[in-house]
Structure 1
Amino acid sequence: MSYSISQVKWQQAAPLLKNIREKVFVCERRIPKKIEFDQGDRTAYHMLVCDDENQEPIATGRITPQGEISRIAVVMGYRSKKIDKYIMQGLFRVADSLALKEVFISSPLEKVEYFTQFDFYPIGSVYMEAGMPKQRMACAISRAVKHAEKAKYYLSH
């Protein structure tokens, strides 16, 4: 299988991005729509992953101009394919192009160990968000870019 990852603008790709996030966050995780979709969508840089075989949108993620990575969503049938790594690598490249020094993520508590593989480290204490325990994590962009350079995927704008 092959996948295409593109950096997209919310204004043009909102229906596709919303569809993925509604399946993952609203339907599966029961996060209210009013929390899932916020003003950050309009100013964030979004990644969209499509399955090259059927052209279906299968994953997304975003990064704000300040370096906050969030809304990483992969539809259920593709989670075993490690598509989330492509999203992270694309977001790291965006952060590098913005000349950010550091990126951040609010990790669900059960995913903290997962994000350490991308050289994220915990900062502060655990807190609650949308009824879920979260841990804020950070990563120096110089370390994150090393992960992006290892990736072999098609990146387009």
Structure 2
Amino acid sequence: MREQGVSSEMEWDGLDEACHHAVALSATGDAIGCGRISPEGYIGRIAVLSEWRGKRVGSSLLELLLDYARSQHYAQVELGAQIQAVPFYLRFNFAEVGEIFMDANIPHIKMQLRLKNC
């Protein structure tokens, strides 16, 4: 929130209780990243501490959330990607949908991924 200048009023949306969460911990047990998925299959709040970026923490979090979605037999998942994160999500075969929109004064685009359920 501090890094991107997002106020607590904009960040805390009251949906956490209904969501499934993933938390990445360091070897010493410190939280270094997080993410969530809603019961409707909306992935969000993926965040990784700056010193841990580029070390597969974000990828691991997203893989965990996608595994959860598959275990719940979701047909697809969606997210609102910050524009600079689009290449990250493209590596997981997400597709851009629609136009760029602003969320918390940051440009985003909706992305979707169809899931192959077992």
Q: Mark yes or no: TM-score above 0.5.
A: yes
- 1:31-70 alignment, distance < 5 Å: 31-52=6-27, 54-70=28-44
Show CA shifts across 1:21-75 (max 9, x none): xxxxx211110101111111110100011112x1111110000011100000111
Identity of aligned residues (%): 26
Gaps of 5+ in 1: 1-25, 146-157
With structure 1 as the length reference, what TM-score do the two structures score? Answer: 0.71
Gaps of 5+ in 2: none
Instruction: Provide the rounded CA distance (Å) in 2 between the counterparts of 1:35 and 1:98.
Output: 29
Q: Which residue identity lines up with residue 21 of structure 2 in the other structure?
A: H
Give the number of the structure whose residues are more often helix, by fraction.
1
Give the number of the structure whose residues are more often strand, by fraction.
2
Give the aligned partner of residue 2 of structure 2: 27
For residue 79 of structure 2, give the secondary structure of its aligned residue in structure 1. strand
Show CA shifts across 1:65-98 (max 9, x none): 1110000011121112120000001000110111
TM superposition outliers: structure 1 runs of 4+ over 4 Å: none
Q: Which residue identity lines up with residue 80 of structure 1 in the other structure?
A: G
Taking CA–CA contacts closer than 8 Å with sequence separation of 6 or more, which of the two structures ends up with the larger relative contact order?
1
Aligned residues: 117
Instruction: Provide the rounded CA distance (Å) in 1 between the counterparts of 2:108 and 2:24.
Output: 25
With structure 2 as the length reference, what TM-score do the two structures score? Answer: 0.94
